[in-house]
Each structure stands twice: as structure tokens, then as C-alpha cells.
Amino acid sequence: MEHVDRVTKKMKSRLKALRAVSNKEWGTRNEDIRTLYIGYIRSTADYAAAGYQAALSKTQLQKLEVEQNKAARLITGCNRSTPSDPLLHEANLLPFNASRNAKAAIALERFTRNSSNPNQELANKQVASKNAKDRDKRQWRARACFTSKEAGLLDIPKEEILHMPSCKPWETQPSVKFKGSLIEPCRKTDGVGRLNELTRSTLNKLGIDTADVTIWTDGSVGEGQTKGGSGDSSSKMTSI
């Protein structure tokens, strides 16, 4: 498969950068090397992995495993004679044969649980084939179903994916109102009491003093992200 050859070529090229920062004497920490590998190198192989990796033969998959084993040795410092299974365990990495099963199963779950996903029909009605790939679970849906069955996921009730509202935060809705300024100007040096007074006056003027919840802030972060700003919450007041 030409795509595998392109991916392995890119992985080989990027492994040079990993070697440059993995010197045993002055190189970065093993955890950081692993993070760099996952984000910069393995990501090239994981892109669309649920689709193409399921169809790979053992020979094609082994090309990816070889490059990952090289990275695992850089991460752990293990020598070349270390068997691949303990090597990957030490580097806290999944072999591609295992990760492709998980990615295929996750993709199938995502498609079947989301009624608005255009791939749901493909996930539910993949055309049966007499090709040997089906028997070897080399179609992504066949591999996903096999993985889900082995993991005992088929017996678990499926919940519909919760869709977040498409409303933009800055758009006014019937039950939500936004006010970007107070009825009177204020300074950062004003105390909490003054800011609270101005905020409640603004709410009263807007006619939303009967809201279920009100949260306000002066936008200040003078004391850092943790302690900065001022706010107030009242159980009597659903306006944000």
C-alpha cells in the first residue's frame, strides 16, 4: 500500500528530530520524548487510522511497528535486543495492531450513536463481501465489531451522543441575556461592594432581577488566573 510507504518514510524522517533530543547525558526526560513521539511522529500514522489500518496486512503493519520500536528504544534507552512487547510496555505505547482495533471500534460507536452523522448508514449497512479480507477482519467495520464483541461492549446499552446547542455565546436567546457594561463606569480599584452595587443596579434596569441565576465579573485578573476578578451568585437570580 503506497500510503503505508509514505507514512513510514515520514516517520523515519521525523525520528531524526527525536534522536536529537534523546541524548542519554544531556537529552530531555523520557516522558517528554514520549510526548514528542506521540504528537509529532505517531500522529502521522494515526491520521485516519480507523479507515486504512484495518485493511493492512501483517507485512504492511509491521512497517509501522518497526518505526515505532525505534522510537520506543529512544524513549526507554533499551538496547536493540529487547523484545518488542516488553519494549512497548516500558515505553507505555500500544502496538499498532492493538491501537487500530480500538480506533475502529471507537469510530463505529461514534457513527452508530450519532443519528445526524452521515457515516451512520455506512456503519450499519456495510455491504457484505466474499473477499478474504472479511474473514481476516480487514474491513474496518468487521474489525470494529469483532473488537467490541471481544471487549463485551455489545451487551452494554448505547446512549445517544449529547449534542451541544449550536447557539453562539454572544447571540441573545429568549432565556439568556448578555450585558457587556454597567450603567455607570467603574475602576479596577473599586471594592467588591461597589462592583456588586453597580451590577445589581444594572440588572434591575434591564428588568432581569427575577432571573434564577446571575453570574458577573469585572474581567480583572490582577491577582492571577486563580484569584483574579470579582463575581457574585444568587439562588434567586438564569441570566449569565
Q: Is the pLDDT of residue 136 over 60?
A: no
- Do residues 148 and 204 share a domain? no
How far does the chain reach from its first CA to its final CA, in angstroms?
54
Please indicate, yes or no, whether residues 158 and 172 belong to a single structural domain of this protein. no
In this structure, are 144 and 193 located in the same domain?
no
Mean pLDDT of 196-211: 74
Query: Who's near 95: CB < 8 A, 6+ residues apart?
Result: 65, 68, 84, 85, 88
Residue pair 183/198 in contact (Cβ under 8 Å)? The answer is yes
Examine the fold and report which residue of 163, 197, 223 is the final residue of a domain before the chain moves on: 163
Average pLDDT, the chain: 78
User: Do 143 and 190 lie in a common domain?
Assistant: no
Task: Indicate the residue among 108, 133, 163 that finishes a domain.
Answer: 163
* pLDDT single digits (tens) 156-174: 887 777 766 666 666 655 6
Which residue reads 455607570 in cell numbers? Answer: 184
Average pLDDT over residues 101-121: 82
Based on the fold, state whether residues 159 and 172 are members of the same structural domain. Answer: no
Contact 101, 147 (CB under 8 A): yes
Please give the residue range of the domain that contains residue 44: 1-163
Enter the C-alpha cell of residue 202: 444594572
Nearest to 240 by CA among 167, 188, 183, 170: 170
Place of cell 520506543: 72
> How many domains does the chain fold into?
2
Measured from the Cβ of residue 214, the count of other Cβ atoms closer than 10 Å reads 20
The pLDDT score that the predictor gives to residue 213 is 63
Phi, psi of 79 (to 5 degrees): -85, 175
Q: What is the pLDDT of residue 65?
A: 95
pLDDT(57) > 50: yes
Provide the β-strand partners of residue 231: 217
143 shares a domain with 233: no
Residues 177 and 151 occupy one common structural domain: no
